[in-house]
Every structure is written in C-alpha cells, then in structure tokens.
Amino acid sequence: MDYTKYNNFSSVYVIEFLKDRNLRTGRDLYESCILPLGQIKENLYTNLTQPKSKSEFFDILSKIVDDCRANSRGPILHIEAHGNDDGIANDILVQTADQIISWSELKPFLCHLNEISGLNLLVIMAACNGLNLTKVVQLTDRAPVWGIIGPEVNIEAGEILEGFKEFYKELFESYDGRKALNMLNKSPDVSDWHFKFLNSEFFFMYVYKNYLETLCTEDALLKRAQNIVKEVGAGRHLDQNVESQMIEDLCNLLSSTQEEYFERHKKHFFMMDMFDDNYQRFQITFDQCKKFMQGNGS
C-alpha cells in the first residue's frame, strides 16, 4: 500500500454527528489534540462543527466545500458518527430512513470536495462500518476520496478517541501516514489493524472488478452483442448467418477494446483530464486490475 501520494493537506474539518447523550468523542479529540496541534503548525486550518440534524449536516458539508474552494485548502474530513451498512446516523438506537445519511447521499459531496482538492481528500470515518462507501462507488464516478480510514469492526468510543489522538500526533509530527496508522492501530502489522486504510486505487479496482465480472463475461458480452445487432437490424430481416457473424464480430470487438476503455475510465476516475500531475500519481494498469480480481477469489 502506497501512503506517499497524499502530501497536500492543509486543513482538518471535524464533524461530530452525535446525540447529546453520546460521549463527545469528536469535540474531545478536537479540543485535546487537533486544535492544539493546529495552533503550533503553520498554515494549518482546523474546524469543529456539531450538526444536530441530517439537513444541518449537509449544510455544513456545503460550507466546507465552499471554504476549501475559496481558500485552496487540502482537507482531511473527520466524521464522528454511528454507522451501519446503509450509512451514518447520529444515534445508534434510532436510525430511521429520514435520519440516516446514506453512503449514496454522502458520495456527491465527497466527490466534489475531492475534485476541489485535486484528488487529495482524506476521509476518516470514526464510525462502525465506515468503509462501506466502496459499495456505492461507480465506474463513471470521479474518485470520491484520495483515501479513507475506518473500522471494519465495532469499536468502543474510548478506543476511537485515544487511537486518533495518537494518529494525529504522529501525522502532524512526521507527516508519515503509515506511522500514523501504526499508532492508531497500536501495531505495525496490517493484519492486526482494526482501522483499515483504502486508497483511491483500491476503489477503482474494486468497481472495475465488479464491472468486468458483471458486464464483461463471455455470456454478458454475447448478450450485449445480440441486443446491439437486434437493435441495428430491426426491420431489416437479416439473414441468420449474417446476423450470427455480426454477433461474433461484435463480441470480438467488445472483448478486444476492454483495455482501451479501461484507460478512458481511469483517466476520468483519477481526474487526469483536470490535473496533469495525476498521470504520475496514479499509474494503475489493466493487468493489475486483472490480478486484483484473481486475488479476490474471482
């Protein structure tokens, strides 16, 4: 895992989306660690907000987007909340549809913030199931994050608070993401980590794997070719042999252009059409994606 492609953070925004009866982990982390560190670090902006409702949460996100755009900030977005498979909420006990902020609702704001920062957004989801953002990312999206940190298992509030104190102290002292993650997880061994790190390359390979497995199998390509030929030949009464040959040729074409379309999707996802430096930062290949598929039981 490469932790060196993120080197542009100049702000930390903490959003504590918790009910009053919960431990104030976001406020405590901010006041005891992030704010003091920010005060001694030149050109580092820090901010704490505590929305009480879903609508207020989105209002705050919009203001963060505007602030980063106006001041050219490279953001770390730290969200303290309760999480589940569907999204995040401010109360673990009451999570109705109108209270849950779904991953799909959150994604556009992250994509926008990441785009403003030149694909340098680090999101920290101090919430259970905080890595489920991967489930809603699509191949046609811009990358929603440069990287995301979140727990794969249920974590106690005290462990979250103490772990992230160590994380931020290390991060602002050494600017070494790997060392900071070691401190967060109290171990240099990734297999022992409760808080995982996923980068934008992982997101891209994850969604591309799903794309290849659902739309690029032999059966899927055959169905796509049959549908295209059927549409093109509508009302023309094509000879069966001619139709069969057209389907075969189209299957071969669809198969042979997979790598070409991979490059197109990669350019869009990693914003290479917007930021020239991203060509050098993100050099993932089609072969690497295929190996990723094989390594994940495909």
Where do the structural domains in the chain lie, given as residue ranges? 11-199, 204-295
* DSSP 8-state secondary structure symbol assigned to residue 190: G
pLDDT, residue 5, reads 52
> Is 11-199 a CATH 3.40.50.1460 domain?
yes
Q: CA 285, 113, 52, 47: dihedral to nearest 10 degrees?
A: 110
What's the chain's average pLDDT?
86
**Per-residue pLDDT tens digits for 172-191:** 888 889 999 999 999 999 98
Percent of the chain with pLDDT over 70: 90
* DSSP 8-state secondary structure symbol assigned to residue 142: P
Q: Per-residue pLDDT for 1 more than 50?
A: no
**Per-residue pLDDT tens digits for 210-236:** 888 887 777 877 887 888 888 876 667
Which of 275, 41, 8, 1 has its CA nearest to residue 121?
8
Q: Per-residue pLDDT for 66 more than 80?
A: yes
Q: CA 273, 276, 279, 280: dihedral to nearest 10 degrees?
A: -170
Q: How far is CA 225 from its chain centroid?
A: 33
How large is the average pLDDT for residues 78-95?
80
CB 1 within 8 A of CB 197: yes
Give the separation between CA 51 and CA 274, rounded to whole angstroms: 33
CB 154 within 8 A of CB 182: no
CB 86 within 8 A of CB 103: yes
**Per-residue pLDDT tens digits for 277-292:** 999 999 999 888 877 7
Question: Residue 6 — very low, low, confident or very high, per pLDDT cuts 50/70/90?
Answer: low
What DSSP line would sit under 19-51, residue for residue? Answer: -TTS--HHHHHIIIIIHHHHHHSTT-EEEEE--
Which residues, including other chains, have CB under 8 Å from residue 5's CB and lie 6 or more apart? 146, 199, 281, 282
